[in-house]
Chains A and B, each alone.
Chain A
Amino acid sequence: MKVTFWGTRGSLPSPGPETLEFGGNTSCVSIEGSEETVIVLDAGTGIRKLGQQLPETIKKVYILLTHLHMDHVQGLPFFAPLRRKGVEVHIWGPASTKLSLRSRLLRYLSPPLFPISVREILSDLHFHELPSGMIDIREFQVTAQMIIHPNPTVGYCIRDRGYSVTYLPDHEPALGVKSFPIGEDWTSGYNLAEGTDLLIHDSQYTKEEYEQRVGFGHSCLNHAFRFGELAQVKEFVPFHHDPTHTDEMLEGMIANTVRDLKPSFKVTPGKEKMVIEVGGNK
């Protein structure tokens, strides 16, 4: 699987000279499978660039949304394939108790928040609500599960030919836990991340910042590393960087945490435009 990072920032786009290396676009990752199908994870502002890179001949697009907070859907109307007639776009996202996924997305994709309504989008849109167990998308097997974050939020594990990528961009598994972690069965996201080849995980805060923001739905780097250790992941990508964190701060935070915790897994800082190849022939 070829994993490409189009946006690694959390909460708010943060362009500028101090974020050039890690990037300023919000959450969007694409995964190209063994048969060249492309899955898109979240539709933050990074999705605009991905849309430009996809071939104009593409006929089917698969978008998996973790939740509908603005930093994960803001780029959707700027995703070029959505504006093309004849393109089939499938969007998965979490169910809620009242409104459908389509209705909730419509709140953003309509005036006055956005000038174009979802009804004017030319592509053929299909909405699918989660959790619904396992989803088969061509060569991929996708597992979705609810995880700890305010408002319904799912995490994903994407498998192809025995390899897996787990995507938990907004996740606070340490919420309310007196000494994190307390065990596999009581840890949010564990089933999705157990033994995964690549974990992309929320690492928004420093330890000190987290103490002031408990319940905001995000992890500090320290908790994210402990989660990765518990799940025995092979490679870990710190992701969903705080908009106030500069390249210099992020490099320092990650290097210090690696030095202090000595993780058993490989750590690859989440940077925009980065590509990671997961697996080969198993």
Chain B
Amino acid sequence: MTQKEIEVILARQLAEYLAVAIFIVDTDGALLYYNETAESILGSRYDETGPMSANQLAGIFRTVDQDGQPLKSEDLPLVKALTRRQPAHGSLWIEPLNGGLKKIAVTAFPIIGQANRFLGAIAIFWEVPR
């Protein structure tokens, strides 16, 4: 099994202790980890979903705009952080696995490690009260 890069390991360990929802993806957008707070917003446990590819991820967690129209992947803050390698912020609606629709605000930033190694991205998100 291939070990993750150290900055990604440390990001997960920090996420485990934080009360804000955190989602970590690799350079291809594949899910690596989300924490307990994210579990409650996404409606599923990380231990159950496990890591998954970007395509699987898009199929499981559907995101829509304020009119209920599916968002283009390039409009998602996490995808912007990955493609532009810059922080990005936005609000969107997500359909959790346990049903309903939640408005969330997302701030995402790329993980750029020592020696400028690009390693993925982290999204911090929270539910916006209606």
Shortest distance in angstroms between A85's beta carbon and chain B's nearest beta carbon? 33
Shortest distance in angstroms between A195's beta carbon and chain B's nearest beta carbon? 12
Contact B16 A176 (CB under 8 A): yes
Chain A residue nearest to B7 in the complex (CB):
A146
Q: Mark B1-34, 1 if CB is under 8 A from A, else 0.
A: 1111111011011101100000000000000000
- Chain A facing B: main interface SS: loop
Contact B114 A176 (CB under 8 A): no
Contact B2 A185 (CB under 8 A): yes
Contact partner of A146 (CB less than 8 A), chosen from B12, B14, B113, is: B113
A147 to B114 alpha-carbon distance, docked (Å):
11
> Are A148 and B114 also in contact (CB < 8 A) when A184-B1, A190-B3 are?
no
Contact partner of A175 (CB less than 8 A), chosen from B4, B5, B13, B113, is: B13
Chain B residue nearest to A155 in the complex (CB):
B6
Provide 26 A-B residue pairs closer than 8 Å at the C-beta atoms, listed in order of the A residue.
A95-B114, A95-B115, A96-B114, A97-B114, A131-B114, A131-B115, A145-B6, A146-B5, A146-B6, A146-B113, A146-B114, A147-B6, A148-B6, A152-B114, A175-B10, A176-B10, A176-B13, A176-B16, A184-B1, A185-B3, A186-B4, A188-B3, A188-B9, A189-B3, A190-B1, A191-B2
Contact partner of A187 (CB less than 8 A), chosen from B7, B9, B113, B117, is: B9
Chain B contributes a number of interface residues (CB within 8 A of A) equal to 18
Listed in ascending order, the chain B residues whose CB lies under 8 Å from chain A are: 1-7, 9-10, 12-14, 16-17, 113-115, 117
- How many pairs of A and B residues are in contact by the CB < 8 Å rule? 51
Contact B3 A184 (CB under 8 A): yes
The reply on A178 being an interface residue by CB < 8 A is: yes
Shortest distance in angstroms between B30's beta carbon and chain A's nearest beta carbon? 13
Chain B residue nearest to A97 in the complex (CB):
B114
Q: Mark A170-208, 1 if CB is under 8 A from B, else 0.
A: 000001111000011111111100000000000000000
The reply on A270 being an interface residue by CB < 8 A is: no
The reply on A129 being an interface residue by CB < 8 A is: yes
The reply on A46 being an interface residue by CB < 8 A is: no
